[in-house]
């Protein structure tokens, strides 16, 4: 008798769950190509050009700082055989300080480039997020998923990539 009661209870729960699921509103989903939208914005393309120019200028600056160090190192090698050991050691210590100063300068330059890169990426990502959220709210989407996160989506699932790119550009190009 207990088995019959368990089976009846399980069937009742299954029917109740099916009825509840059928009466629930259908989930509205859209997708967008996150990489295309993020990289396709005018701001991202400007940032790439700007950061490339800054990186090239930084490399010129680093090369200019490094050139005298290389010359000093070569001169130190040449003088090693004729220099007194204590003077050579002092010259090596002096050179090590110059190398440390160079490394600190190079690190400061790199940190500046990294900060500019992070800020540009954040600005673009924030604008894309705002654009996607606005589209979702206007069109009643419950969920918007980057295409790269979905293993499969039906051709019936709306793709809002073009609209998201246009809106992100509008936000960023003010």
pLDDT string in tens for the chain (174-residue length): 455 444 444 444 444 444 444 445 699 999 999 999 999 999 999 999 999 999 999 999 999 999 999 999 999 898 888 889 899 899 999 999 999 999 999 999 999 999 999 999 999 999 999 999 999 999 999 999 999 999 999 999 999 999 999 999 999 998
Structure tokens at 60: 């010129």
Structural domain count, the chain:
1
| Residue 2 resides in a domain | no
| Residue 3 resides in a domain | no
| Residue 47 resides in a domain | yes
Instruction: For CA atoms 100, 102, 108, 114, give the dihedral sign.
Output: negative
Query: What is the domain range of residue 33?
Result: 23-172
DSSP state of 147: G
Instruction: For CA atoms 118, 120, 121, 127, give the dihedral sign.
Output: positive
The reported pLDDT for the residue numbered 16 is 42
The reported pLDDT for the residue numbered 3 is 52
Residues paired with residue 159 on neighbouring β-strands, in sequence order? 31
| Residue 144 resides in a domain | yes
| Residue 28 resides in a domain | yes
Structure tokens at 61: 């600056």
**54 φ, ψ (degrees, to nearest 5):** -65, -40
Structure tokens at 71: 């010359």
- What CATH number is attached to the domain comprising 44? 3.30.910.20
| Residue 6 resides in a domain | no
| Residue 60 resides in a domain | yes
């Amino acid at each position: 008798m207990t088995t019959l009661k368990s089976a009846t209870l399980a069937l009742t729960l299954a029917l109740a769950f099916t009825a509840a699921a059928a009466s629930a509103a259908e989930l509205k989903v859209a997708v967008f190509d996150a990489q295309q939208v993020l990289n396709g914005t005018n701001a991202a393309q400007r940032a790439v050009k700007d950061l490339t120019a800054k990186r090239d200028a930084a490399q010129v600056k680093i090369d200019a700082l490094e050139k005298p160090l290389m010359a000093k190192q070569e001169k130190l090698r040449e003088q090693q055989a004729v220099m007194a050991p204590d003077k050579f050691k002092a010259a090596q210590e002096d050179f090590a300080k110059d190398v440390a100063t160079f490394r600190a300068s190079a690190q400061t330059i790199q940190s500046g480039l990294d900060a500019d890169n992070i800020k540009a990426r954040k600005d673009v990502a924030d604008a894309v997020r705002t654009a996607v959220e606005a589209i979702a709210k206007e069109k009643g989407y419950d969920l918007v998923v980057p295409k790269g996160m979905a293993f499969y989506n039906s051709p019936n699932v709306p793709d809002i990539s073009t609209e998201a790119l246009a809106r992100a550009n509008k936000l960023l190009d003010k």
